[in-house]
Every structure is written in structure tokens, then in C-alpha cells.
Amino acid sequence: MDFSRDFIQLACDKGVLRFGEFITKAGRKSPYFFNAGLFNDGASFGRLCDFYARAIVAAGIEFDMLFGPAYKGIPLVAGTAMKLAEMGHNTPFCFNRKEAKDHGEGGTLIGAPLAGKVLILDDVISAGTSVRESVAIIEQHGAATAGVVIALDRMERGQGELSAVQEVRQQYGVPVVSVASLSDLIGFLSDSSELADNLAAVRQYRASYGIDAAA
């Protein structure tokens, strides 16, 4: 998809996606590092939310509303709802706070009531903890999880043979949509004279830790 490459270019331009030697949470030496928190100004964050909205529309998932898990999902879900509205899809959204509020409206949820088919928005899926917590909140309110949308699918194995994204798909039986994936990144590097020097290291990393390309 064209927007996947545009997204990767934006991530490189903003320093969200960097190349070198980095240690992941799993203790692996990775040739790239992705930090969506660095989409930290109005222009780049607006474009990020536009990419989320385009990925959602392209995926064709049926959903009634959006949910953003605290904390990174909060601005994502608000911004993406605005971009979807600009595309003609006026969508309710909701997010949670980490601690219950004991005054005012109270509770842990802010926004539209959780109902129907709910699409979860997050930046990445690492251990799947945020997804599990989100699914539990959604089910507690009698709604159903329609799917999960993330920025980047690293397409690498977790503790077993499956990736974190595949584990979520298998455990909850819902689609996981990414704006871009490791395959998209490798294609981008293959066509980039400026960043081509990083291609061999990224390919080697996929060979060592990646899931099956068809998965």
C-alpha cells in the first residue's frame, strides 16, 4: 500500500524510526528502533492519525466505535476519529484513564459509551498486555472487540513461534491491522539509496527472529 511507504518515510524524517544497534525488551540486538512517541507535533501527529484512518478504511473492518488504551492510545483515538470524520465516517470514541476518578463523572472511561463492535487503537503490540486489558474493559461493558490497529508490525517471534500480533489474532479471533510492517520496511529500504546500507542488517534480523513471511 502506498500509504505504508509514506508512513515509513514520515517516521524516518521525524526520527521515529532510527537505524543502528538497539537492544529490544526481549534482549535482542535490533538494527532499527521505532518510537511512536516522537510524533510529537501537530503536523506529524495529524499525518500519523491520517495513516491510521486510511489503514482502517482499507482493511474494511466492520466496527461501531474506537477505543484508545491509556496512555498512548488516548491521542491516537481522538486524532483518528477526527480524520475518519473528514473521510465521511463519523465515529464515536472512548478511552480509559489508569486510575478511577472519584468525583465529577467518576469511573475510568471518558468519551462515548462502549457499545457494539469496538476497534482498539495502539502504537505497537509487544507483549500484548495493553490489548488484553482493553479487551477486558470492552467485554465488561457488554461490547465486542472488532480488531486492533497499530502503527508498525515488527513481525518477529515472541516466546514461541508466533509473533505478538499473531498471538493476539489467535487468542481473540480478531484482525490486527498495521499501517506498516517489517516487510514494508524492507521494501522501503530496498528502494532507498539513502538508507540502503541498513538493508542487510534488517534482513538478517528477520532471518534470525522473524515469523514466516506468509504468516
Round to the nearest angstrom and report the end-to-end CA distance of the chain.
Answer: 18
Report the C-alpha gap between 177 and 67 in whole angstroms. 15
Is 103 catalytic? The answer is yes
Which phi and psi angles does 110 have, rounded to 5°?
A: -130, 135
Three-class SS state of 105: coil
Is 101 catalytic? The answer is yes
Other Cβ atoms less than 10 A from the Cβ of 24: the count is 14
Give the active site residue among 25, 103, 117, 141: 103
Sign of CA dihedral 40, 120, 9, 16: positive
Give the active site residue among 14, 83, 98, 101: 101
Residue 57's contacts (CB-CB under 8 Å, 6 or more residues apart) are 84, 87, 89
Q: Which three cell numbers stand for residue 161?
A: 513461534
Q: Which residues are catalytic?
A: 101, 103
